[in-house]
Amino acid sequence: MSTATVEDLTEITAPKSFWNRQRRLGAALVIIGLIAAVVFGSLAESKTARFTLSEDAEGAALSINGQFGAILFGIVTIAAGGALLAGVAKRWQTWLLGLGIVTFVLSFLCWQVAGKFLPLVDTASGSLELALPLILGALAGVLCERSGVVNVAIEGQFLMGAFGAALVGTLATSVWAGLVSAVVGGVIIAAMLAWLAIRFLVDQVVVGIVLNLFALGVTGFLYERLMQPDALKYNSPPRLPEWRIPGLADIPVVGPVLFDTNLLVWLALILVFVIHFALRRTRWGLRTRAVGEHPTAADTVGIRVRGLRYMNVLLGGVVAGIGGAYFTLVSTSAFNKNMTAGAGFIALAALIFGRWTPFGALGAALFFGFAQKLANYLSAVGSPVPNQFLNMLPYIATIIAVAGLVGRVRAPAADGVPYVKS
Amino acid sequence: MANDHIDITVEPGEVHALLGENGAGKSTLMNQLYGLLQPDEGEILVDGEKKVFRSPRDAIAAGIGMVHQHFMLVPVFTVAENIALGAEEVRGGPLGFLDRRRNRRDVLETSKKYGLPVDPDALIENLPVGAQQRVEIVKALTRDVDLLILDEPTAVLTPQETDELLAVMRSLAESGKSIVFITHKLREVKAIADRITVIRRGRTVGTATPDTSEDELAALMVGRDVSLEVAKGPAEPGREVLKISGLIVEDDRGVRAVDAVDLTVRAGEVLGIAGVQGNGQTELVEAIMGLRPVRAGTIELEDDSLIGRSTKQVLRSGVGYVPEDRSLDGVVKDFSVAENLVLDMYDREPYGSAFRLNPKAIAVNAAERVEQFDIRVSSPQSAVGTLSGGNQQKVVVAREMSRPLRLFIASQPTRGVDVGSIEFIHKQIIHERDNGTAVLVVSSELDEVVGLADRIAVMYRGRVLAVVSPDTPREEIGLLMAGITGTQEAEDDQ
Amino acid sequence: MTTETAPPAKKEEEEKRESFFSLFLQNLWSANTVTVTILSIFLALVIGAVLIVVSDSQVLSYFSYFTSRPSDALNASWDLISQAYGDLFKGAIFDPAAVQAWFDGTGTWQAAFGPISETLTYAAPLVFTGLSVAIAFRGGLFNIGGQGQAVIGCITGGVVGFAVGLPVGLHLLVALIAGFLGGALWGFLPGLLKARTGAHEVITTIMLNYIATLFLSWLILQNGVRDPERTDAISKTIESSAQLPALPSPLRVHLGIVLAVVATAVVAWLLNKSPFGFELRAVGVNPPAAKTAGMSVAKTYTLLMVIAGGLAGLGGAVQVLGTADKLTAQVAGNIGFDGLLVALLGRNKPWGTLLAAILYGALRAGGNLMQVDAGVSLELVTVLQALIVIFIAAPALVKAIFQLRAARSARLGATMAKGW
């Protein structure tokens, strides 16, 4: 054979599959769009759906005929899917996908709200509040997992945080003391996780699951022994005050949601920015990412791999502990057995769905918070759509994400791999 | 014990070659010097001062840099980030904001100063290995090293890239830096080293100068006079057994790794595939074995097409396969020798059926193979992981040769294997050929290919550039491995 | 080589110098798995005892004047702990008083065997969920989804139990098979996703757990499932033809524990004596080598998760058909997650898992008596279970804790010998 024939043969092109990712997404959008337009549209009553800009039925509102809206938004979803199917430029892909999903949700809302009203401010602030522990939990996960330690113990950290806040908050009658001990609670579980996973090389998923049970047992035990017999003495923590920023709080919708709220909301949002920036722009961030991706490489340039992992897991414990404080200092004012009820795992889902990034986690947490809020709304207005199915949404979304059906999510390369010098 | 009382001295401005076989303890020694491993006894003196290196931090502080055999680069980082890592320029005091402009400038300065072009903004995972190696060298040099250790740096390079690297090493030495060059390739040692230390089985067995002949160095390295030749009679090629045409295969990243390859292997001959590692050999073999999807082209085993066949079907149709990465693909280390010897036959009579295993037959088979292939093991029930590399490889070869074969494929059959086992395995391969099996041998060791093959196909960037006779001058094959076809007529493979 | 020949004499000398106690300890270390297991249980009980004491305000008040009269605090602590752990034993294995009464003729044999019956009743579903985790683990998969698979097994087994009319015997068989198939489906999904897309089974199974639980809480409210006579969220009662036969009341132990032993034997055979077991073990420790040897890793993962899911589903079905009789939101309890602990404690070996399940069943059964009699909440059992597994999973930690004591006494000896 001569080199000339080789040149000729390179012209053979391998056949590419027609059903690339974009077309698969497009087809999926067309299908759910059809469901929206046909099913939602036909089920929706032809009555006005009012989206009020307040916390109740009063005041200004965006109104649309429910049936018309359900069909219209469904058609927009179909159009977005069709554009993807037709093969538009790649840079439009994300936008069209987003548009398709948002209009699908709007179509659903039109159907459900037809003849009723949905208070937007209440929905937004409720979603944010439900998302709050998820944001903090997912950020804790970001801190751990970007440095290579899998954290499935977020649930346990929440529980210890919530318990610590309730107990010490009550004993000291100080919400701040409660907040500090929530941090301590989170850090205790984090320290056990770090110690067992980094020092004793125990499988990190095993440790996480077992620590969750441990936290469940310890808090439940102490609850029954201490708090239940004498709730006044041990289990009536003060609540975190809500602060209203004059001026900013008067902005419609956004104002009451963001500027008439408690400290934790701001703290969570600030932490998202801080961690995002620090991961990308600081020495700590560069080293953290290196340790999570290729610990041996980090070791050979003199970075203390285990030390950095310890530090990040403990920092994660601080953040998750604050997330735990939400349950006893913000959402209710008493600790209860297993009161986090799987929120730690939704936070884990938000972490994964958000692709191990702070802003991704924020977006995912808000989405999941919205789904929960919507589920509460639907069961309150007696919708035929069972709220259990809406509550499944975070879990289903995460499965779809990890299965690579909507873009591939990639964990840090060394996530969950203990570092042992060879 | 990997190392036993080794003494080595490196002078300023010299290139000191550390020569030894695979597994002789070279890398262990250097990892101790770099603080990755702690020696049990002995001491390290830098500029006459005793030092203890508990971690690479101490070694870096003492002016020692190392380019590892497996690059220590974070694939998703840029070149500048990788070089900065661990020695970042920062602003803002304890907050430690990265000063990316200064980091980038440092990279460019070093790159220019030593004539090592790197693009600071490129992502490592997108760079070819040669460029990654330059990044590693620049990374060491930005840390102001006095002593640079290069661990098997030429394993992944073409002969031309190797020459460039040798030139860089020379100029670094001239600028006053000391270089330790770890290798098992005699030719390179003779070309560059000022002084040579030969180690074998963890001991220093001698020091030499570049004037020492290759034969002498080889004898020092392996401990006895070795014949690099493989004893074999002339081949008697028969019918075409394996016929590949227009084969296109992609690697894991979707890049075309095998690019329109045509090959034929006949019964009773050894076709060797020469080439620097990473030029599509791995993907080619995996495609034949049904381990990797084929994008286009045909693979025929006599009259059957192998396209779309599962690995099990390929193995069952009379193909034996020794994979290149023994510990990853060849053996299950936690399994016993006996279990590993039936790893691809456990569900066939007499070893088992669809629903049960026959432990007795498995044990009988193990006893036979251990005897026949001279596998040194205390009991066939001990885990394969406890065996030496050579004996593990013999387990793989024994397994794959213990059924009637039409085609035998061996990738890097003697990588990381001691000399005694190498000879044994080579003999078995020739024996298989003489029994009328078609044999395909892939090796990045040119010596091995030349010694075993009756015809040599040279691969470069996924293509077979030429098929030549083993009598072809090495320089010519070397040029082909570098992708230079020249003007001479390549031998036709038909 | 040279180091081997010289030292025997020296070694002997060293051995003589070591105290009998440390030699005994050393022998214990060498029998490591059993020793570590026993020490882990011991450590967990010690920590549990501390928790019992610090959470009792009565005893704590004695500690406030500990320095002046330590006996009050110590006696009270000892009474509390011995009563709690005594109850744990009596509730799980046997109550000497009840046995005595049986021999005297004043009590019944049922009362004497009651504790064992309770232990085995709690253990039965755990054996299945534990085997589910163990077999998946041997194939290199971490099945966190036992809980969800058990819930689906409860649903399918339960629905067949009350909604389908079949003759005695056949009905039970069909209900058990339905439980297996339900769990198998819930295992098949993550298995398929793992095989086809590489989606990590830990993530997918965690998510599927919650989906299953939410599905159950929806299902029991639906017409046809919900008991029309009741106002709370509870299903119709399983027909007696589908219930697992049990010993006469008040003993609760039922056929489930026998099925559990059979399942253990089947899993043991599958793992060690069958070609599929060979495949899954090879895939479990080295998937690339298995693939190179012609095994289909994807097929193995999928089939393995089907089997693992089916086992957990059977566990759910046994729970519903044996003890619960009805579907409620909490019918599966925590058997899936407990199965995880059981498998870890059993070191992912079938017979080890069986023993571990019986131990956890015993803790649970004893915990009930402890709660009623000693007033120590059942949650303590969860803590003990978690702690045992933490110590099991970190054998180095257990050894470090106990060597610490040995080392300290040795150091003490050394300093005394020096006699400064």
What tens digit of pLDDT does each residue of B279-332 get? Answer: 899 999 999 999 999 999 999 999 899 998 999 999 999 999 999 988 889 999
Which stretch, A224-228, B47-51, B90-94, C400-404, has highest mean pLDDT?
A: A224-228
Burial letters C227-239, b for 16+ CB under 10 A, else e: beeeeebbbbbbb
Range of the domain at B430: 240-331+403-481
Q: How confident is the model at residue A1 (pLDDT cuts 50, 70, 90)?
A: very low
Q: How confident is the model at residue C106 (pLDDT cuts 50, 70, 90)?
A: confident
Range of the domain at C267: 119-363
Q: How confident is the model at residue A11, as a pLDDT?
A: 40
Q: Do B185 and B70 belong to one domain?
A: yes
User: Is C111 contained in some domain?
Assistant: no
Structure tokens at C311: 């086992």
Q: Please answer whether residues C88 and C218 qualify as being in contact, where contact means their C-beta atoms are separated by less than 8 angstroms.
A: no
Compare CB distances from B260 to A10, A289, A300 and report the shortest one's residue.
A10
Q: Find chains touching chain B: ≥3 CB pairs under 8 Å.
A: A, C
Q: How confident is the model at residue A208, as a pLDDT?
A: 92
The chain-wide mean pLDDT, for chain B, equals 86
Which stretch, A24-33, A111-120, B369-378, B404-413, has highest mean pLDDT?
A: B404-413
Q: Do B108 and B138 belong to one domain?
A: yes
- Look at residue C78 and tell me whether its pLDDT is greater than 80: yes
C137, C266, C286: best to mutate for the B interface, most B CBs within 10 A: C286
Enter the DSSP assignment of B463: E
- In this structure, the dihedral spanned by the alpha carbons of residues B26, B32, B37 and B40, taken in order and rounded to 10 degrees, is 100
Pairing of strands B319-322, B455-460: unpaired
Structure tokens at A398: 């995460």
Q: How confident is the model at residue A85, as a pLDDT?
A: 86
Domains within chain A, CATH numbers bracketed: 21-115 (no CATH), 121-402 (1.10.3470)
For residue C21, the surrounding DSSP H or E stretch is helix C20-30
- Look at residue A141 and tell me whether its pLDDT is greater than 70: yes
Q: How confident is the model at residue A293, as a pLDDT?
A: 93
Residue B462 Cα distances to B132, B286, B481, angstroms: 20, 13, 11
Range of lowest pLDDT (A64-78, B72-86, C396-410):
C396-410
Q: Do B244 and B217 belong to one domain?
A: no
Q: Do B201 and B304 belong to one domain?
A: no
Q: How confident is the model at residue C190, as a pLDDT?
A: 94
Mean pLDDT within A190-209: 91
- Look at residue C338 and tell me whether its pLDDT is greater than 50: yes
Q: Do B317 and B213 belong to one domain?
A: no
- Look at residue A16 and tell me whether its pLDDT is greater than 70: no
Q: What's the burial of A116, exposed, middle or buried (CB within 10 Å: 0-12/13-18/19+)?
A: middle
Q: Do B248 and B289 belong to one domain?
A: yes
B85, B148, B487: best to mutate for the A interface, most A CBs within 10 A: B85
Q: Do C340 and C275 belong to one domain?
A: yes
Q: Distance between CA atoms of B132 and B118, rounded to whole angstroms?
A: 9
Q: Do B323 and B453 belong to one domain?
A: yes
Q: How confident is the model at residue C30, as a pLDDT?
A: 47
- For chains A and C, CB pairs below 8 A equal 127
Indicate the number of domains in chain B.
2
- Look at residue C277 and tell me whether its pLDDT is greater than 90: yes
User: Is C2 contained in some domain?
Assistant: no
- Look at residue C259 and tell me whether its pLDDT is greater than 90: yes
For residue B196, the surrounding DSSP H or E stretch is strand B195-200
Phi-psi region of B176 (alpha: psi -120 to 50; beta: other; left: phi over 0): left
Mean pLDDT within B85-102: 87
pLDDT over 90, % of chain B: 40
Which residues from chain B sit within 8 angstroms of residue C278, using beta carbons? 339, 346-347, 352, 357
Mean pLDDT within C337-363: 92
B322, B329, B348, B349: best to mutate for the C interface, most C CBs within 10 A: B329
- Look at residue B208 and tell me whether its pLDDT is greater than 80: yes
Place of tokens 């104002």: A255
Q: How confident is the model at residue A401, as a pLDDT?
A: 81
Positive or negative torsion for Cα A340, A341, A342, A347:
negative
Diameter over CA atoms, chain C: 86
Assign residue C183 the CATH number of its domain.
1.10.3470
- Look at residue C23 and tell me whether its pLDDT is greater than 60: no
User: Is B395 contained in some domain?
Assistant: no
**In C64-108, which residue ranges form alpha helices assigned H by DSSP?**
70-92, 96-104
Angle at B245 between CA B243 and CA B246, to 5 degrees: 165
Mean pLDDT within B216-237: 72
- How many whole angstroms from its chain centre is CA B413? 11
Range of lowest pLDDT (C67-81, C205-219, C338-352):
C67-81
For residue B334, the distance in angstroms to the closest alpha carbon of chain A comes to: 19
pLDDT over 70, % of chain B: 95
Mean pLDDT within A177-199: 95
Query: Do C210 and A399 count as a contact with CB atoms less than 8 A apart?
Result: no
Q: How confident is the model at residue C177 (pLDDT cuts 50, 70, 90)?
A: very high
Strands (E), B405-460: 407-411, 438-442, 455-460
Which residues from chain B sit within 8 angstroms of residue C288, using beta carbons? 325, 328-329
For residue C84, the distance in angstroms to the closest alpha carbon of chain A comes to: 14
pTM for this prediction:
0.85
User: Is C89 contained in some domain?
Assistant: yes
Q: What's the burial of C106, exposed, middle or buried (CB within 10 Å: 0-12/13-18/19+)?
A: exposed
- Look at residue B190 and tell me whether its pLDDT is greater than 50: yes
Q: Do B255 and B327 belong to one domain?
A: yes
Mean pLDDT within C275-304: 93
Contacts of C332 (CB under 8 A, 6+ apart): C147, C150, C151, C154, C216, C316, C319
- Look at residue A81 and tell me whether its pLDDT is greater than 70: yes
| B303 three-class SS | coil
Compare CB distances from A286 to B88, B95, B466 and report the shortest one's residue.
B88
Q: Do C125 and C73 belong to one domain?
A: no
User: Is B183 contained in some domain?
Assistant: yes
What are the pLDDT digits (tens) for B158-176? 777 888 889 989 989 998 8
Q: Do C406 and C295 belong to one domain?
A: no
User: Is B323 contained in some domain?
Assistant: yes
- Look at residue C414 and tell me whether its pLDDT is greater than 50: no
Structure tokens at B316: 């069952």
Q: Please answer whether residues B228 and B21 qualify as being in contact, where contact means their C-beta atoms are separated by less than 8 angstroms.
A: no
User: Is B337 contained in some domain?
Assistant: no
More confident residue, B49 or A167: A167
Q: Does A306 touch chain B (CB under 8 A)?
A: no
Q: Do B105 and B203 belong to one domain?
A: yes
Q: How confident is the model at residue A8, as a pLDDT?
A: 38
User: Is B85 contained in some domain?
Assistant: yes
Q: Distance between CA atoms of B251 and C121, rounded to whole angstroms?
A: 54
Indicate the number of domains in chain C.
2
The chain-wide mean pLDDT, for chain C, equals 85
Which stretch, A58-67, A363-372, B250-259, has highest mean pLDDT?
A: A363-372
Q: Distance between CA atoms of A216 and A269, rounded to whole angstroms?
A: 28
Q: Distance between CA atoms of A94 and A88, rounded to whole angstroms?
A: 11
The chain-wide mean pLDDT, for chain A, equals 87
Q: How confident is the model at residue B224, as a pLDDT?
A: 55
User: Is B410 contained in some domain?
Assistant: yes
Q: Do C170 and C226 belong to one domain?
A: yes
Q: How confident is the model at residue C295, as a pLDDT?
A: 93
User: Is C392 contained in some domain?
Assistant: yes
User: Is C90 contained in some domain?
Assistant: yes
Assign residue B126 the CATH number of its domain.
3.40.50.300
Q: How confident is the model at residue C405, as a pLDDT?
A: 45
- Look at residue C4 and tell me whether its pLDDT is greater than 80: no
User: Is B491 contained in some domain?
Assistant: no
Q: How confident is the model at residue B433, as a pLDDT?
A: 94
Which residues from chain B sit within 8 angstroms of residue C1, using beta carbons? none
Q: Do C72 and C209 belong to one domain?
A: no
- Which residues of A lie closer than 8 Å to C, measured between beta carbons? 152, 192, 196, 200, 202-203, 205-207, 209-211, 213-214, 216-218, 220-226, 337, 342, 345, 348-349, 352, 386, 388-389, 391-392, 395-396, 398-399, 402-405, 411
Which stretch, A127-141, A332-346, B128-142, C69-83, has highest mean pLDDT?
A: A127-141
Range of lowest pLDDT (B376-380, B426-430, C270-274):
B376-380
Q: Do B199 and B275 belong to one domain?
A: no
Q: How confident is the model at residue C24, as a pLDDT?
A: 57
Compare CB distances from C275 to B311, B330, B357 and report the shortest one's residue.
B357
Mean pLDDT within B483-491: 57
User: Is C113 contained in some domain?
Assistant: no
Q: Do B255 and B285 belong to one domain?
A: yes
User: Is C420 contained in some domain?
Assistant: no
Q: Do C325 and C197 belong to one domain?
A: yes
Q: Distance between CA atoms of C298 and C104, rounded to whole angstroms?
A: 63
ipTM confidence score:
0.83
- How many whole angstroms from its chain centre is CA C137? 15
Mean pLDDT within C81-89: 91
- Look at residue C5 and tell me whether its pLDDT is greater than 60: no
More confident residue, C366 or A402: C366
User: Is C22 contained in some domain?
Assistant: no
Which residues from chain C sit within 8 angstroms of residue B335, using beta carbons? 281-282, 285
Residue C413 Cα distances to A100, A415, B177, B456, C407, angstroms: 76, 45, 54, 72, 10
Q: How confident is the model at residue B161, as a pLDDT?
A: 80
Q: Please answer whether residues A385 and A112 qualify as being in contact, where contact means their C-beta atoms are separated by less than 8 angstroms.
A: yes
Q: How confident is the model at residue A2 (pLDDT cuts 50, 70, 90)?
A: very low
- Look at residue B1 and tell me whether its pLDDT is greater than 60: no
Q: How confident is the model at residue C3, as a pLDDT?
A: 37
Q: Do B113 and B247 belong to one domain?
A: no
Structure tokens at C316: 């759910």
Q: Do C249 and C351 belong to one domain?
A: yes
Q: Does C271 touch chain B (CB under 8 A)?
A: no
Range of lowest pLDDT (A244-253, B260-269, B349-358, C156-165):
A244-253
Q: How confident is the model at residue A24 (pLDDT cuts 50, 70, 90)?
A: confident
Q: How confident is the model at residue A422 (pLDDT cuts 50, 70, 90)?
A: low
Q: Do C276 and C334 belong to one domain?
A: yes
Q: What's the burial of C199, exposed, middle or buried (CB within 10 Å: 0-12/13-18/19+)?
A: buried
Q: Does A4 touch chain B (CB under 8 A)?
A: no
